[in-house]
Copies of this chain bind each other. A is one copy, B any other.
Amino acid sequence: MDRLPGFRDFYPEPLPHEDVWSADARQYIFDKWRSMARRYGFREYDGPPLEPLELFTTKSGEEIVGQLYNFVDKGERAISLRPEMTPTLARMVAAHERAYKKPIKWFAIPQLFRYERQQKGRLREHFQFNADIMGEKDPAADAELIALLIDTLRSLGLTAEDFVIRLSSRNAWHDFFTQNNGDPAKAYDFYQAIDKLERDEPEVKQKKLAAVGFSLEQVESFITAAMPTPELESILGNLRARSLGDYVQIDYRIIRGLAYYTGPVFEAFDRKGQLRAIAGGGRYDNLIKLLSGGKVDLPALGFGMGDVVLIELLKARGLLPAFDAQVEAFVLIEDETLRNDSLRLVSELRAAGLVTEYSLTPMKPDKQFKRAMELKAASTVRLERGPSGEVVAKVKNLKTREETISIPGEVAASLQKA
């Protein structure tokens, strides 16, 4: 029996097959995400992986259903696996908004699902780092959020030569659209056309823009001029003060497809432009009000960073370490009359926090040592009976090949120091 198409199995490294994913690399990335979010003062939250279907259609309209992993449950409820985290976040914040001081800075690492027509290698789930700030209108919040995005990627070893944040603004496009007498009823189609500029063929672009009363030249010269709005100037100044200016460029080709963005928007890309976006986000000042049925009105902004493109990029740059069990001590049991003493030693080493392995059953000494080597153990420990019957411990550092002799009760402390 096989797993469902579009889903992933995560195995310990070294990986047994190219078709499976590394559970170790996943945890490594989650740790980096979590650790940087906390350093920035963001607090973790999570919701159910399933929500009422309505939560997602309220935000994105019925069209979204075609892409959702939705179904009817045994209680006849219309359900969907979550395709994104923002509706759950809005639901949760709206329910208990008063209990939290503003601005609210929260993050989550949800698994997200979609059910698109299956394409070769196309996944139906991924994990996403979500960070959001709620309750602050000032562009200082946008800068704080973008700084978190940059520092998270830097903590994985990526530099300004590997990635760039392309920063844009819905407000800039709104002003351009209004000043050129755009028809408000066609604004959404206009944004959609801009969003597709980098993918559509020239004739298609021209046709789409003409349909909303614009020419391609007009749009392209606006993009080329790229005059930053005051809010973008403010974000750039803030990021430069943090020495993060090199990671950002104004780029009005970014507009974000979703309807609900209201201010600055951004996407992170690899500099070589070989991959899809690493992350994307922006301001959505009206969404919490919409999703809470008018109950709570909080300006907000956030980003999402998926694990799949990120892992692709880290692999391409040689930045994913190889993982193993990180065994710190392998206890060799060569004298079976000392098995109980050895088990006590194993216990003591683990109690001291050391990753400790040993052979569960009697095994030839050379095989045990071979196993210790395969596991890349840092040290071996062997109990022996000394000349007057006392038990001594021989600790061997497998890197330096140095061997020291001590009493069993002191091994844990000596290895902790090393």
Residues of chain A having any CB pair with chain B under 8 Å: 1-4, 7-12, 14, 16-17, 20, 23-24, 26-27, 34, 36, 38-41, 43-52, 54-55, 58, 69-75, 77, 79, 91-92, 95-96, 98-101, 103, 106, 111, 115, 118, 125, 136, 138, 140-141, 144, 147, 151, 237-238, 241-244, 291, 293, 325-327, 339-341, 343-344, 346-347, 350-351, 353-357, 360-361, 371, 374-375
Name the B residues within 8 Å of A49 (CB-CB).
49, 111
Q: Looking across the interface, which residue of chain B has its beta carbon closest to that of A350?
A: B39
Q: How far is the CB of A14 from chain B (nearest CB, A)?
A: 8
A111 CA to B241 CA in the complex, in Å? 43
For the residues of A in contact with B, the DSSP-based class is mixed
A188 CA to B385 CA in the complex, in Å? 50
In the complex with contacts A50-B7, A361-B136, A12-B141 CB distance below 8 A: no
Name the B residues within 8 Å of A99 (CB-CB).
14, 16-17
In the complex with contacts A45-B11, A344-B241, A39-B354 CB distance below 8 A: yes
Name the B residues within 8 Å of A355 (CB-CB).
38-39, 41
A278 CA to B58 CA in the complex, in Å? 40
Name the B residues within 8 Å of A95 (CB-CB).
9, 16-17
**Contacting residue for A141 out of B8, B238, B344, B360, CB 8 A:** B360
Contact between A361 and B7, CB atoms less than 8 A apart: no
Contact between A16 and B71, CB atoms less than 8 A apart: no
Q: Looking across the interface, which residue of chain B has its beta carbon closest to that of A354?
A: B39
Q: How far is the CB of A94 from chain B (nearest CB, A)?
A: 9
A226 CA to B166 CA in the complex, in Å? 71
A340 CA to B238 CA in the complex, in Å? 7
Contact between A51 and B3, CB atoms less than 8 A apart: yes
**Contacting residue for A115 out of B11, B72, B73, CB 8 A:** B73
Pairs A–B under 8 Å by Cβ, sample size 15: A1-B293, A4-B50, A4-B79, A11-B96, A16-B98, A20-B96, A23-B43, A38-B355, A40-B350, A48-B125, A69-B74, A75-B118, A101-B374, A140-B361, A237-B340
In the complex with contacts A48-B7, A238-B343, A41-B325 CB distance below 8 A: yes
A103 CA to B363 CA in the complex, in Å? 13
Name the B residues within 8 Å of A44 (CB-CB).
10, 12, 23-24, 27
Q: How far is the CB of A73 from chain B (nearest CB, A)?
A: 6
Q: How far is the CB of A67 from chain B (nearest CB, A)?
A: 10
Name the B residues within 8 Å of A346 (CB-CB).
242
Name the B residues within 8 Å of A340 (CB-CB).
237, 241
Contact between A100 and B361, CB atoms less than 8 A apart: no
Name the B residues within 8 Å of A101 (CB-CB).
371, 374
A95 CA to B371 CA in the complex, in Å? 23
A52 CA to B6 CA in the complex, in Å? 13
In the complex with contacts A39-B350, A48-B8, A100-B151 CB distance below 8 A: no
Name the B residues within 8 Å of A10 (CB-CB).
44-47
**Contacting residue for A350 out of B51, B77, B151, CB 8 A:** B151
Instruction: Beyond the given A9-B46, A12-B106, A24-B44, please list 11 additional residue pairs across the A-B interface where CB-CB is below 8 A.
Output: A1-B291, A2-B52, A3-B48, A11-B96, A23-B43, A23-B44, A39-B353, A41-B375, A71-B71, A140-B360, A147-B347
Contact between B347 and A242, CB atoms less than 8 A apart: yes
Contact between A45 and B23, CB atoms less than 8 A apart: yes
Q: Looking across the interface, which residue of chain B has its beta carbon closest to that of A347?
A: B242
A361 CA to B24 CA in the complex, in Å? 40
In the complex with contacts A10-B46, A11-B45, A43-B23, A243-B347 CB distance below 8 A: yes
In the complex with contacts A99-B17, A241-B344, A43-B325 CB distance below 8 A: yes
Contact between A52 and B1, CB atoms less than 8 A apart: yes
Contact between A103 and B350, CB atoms less than 8 A apart: no
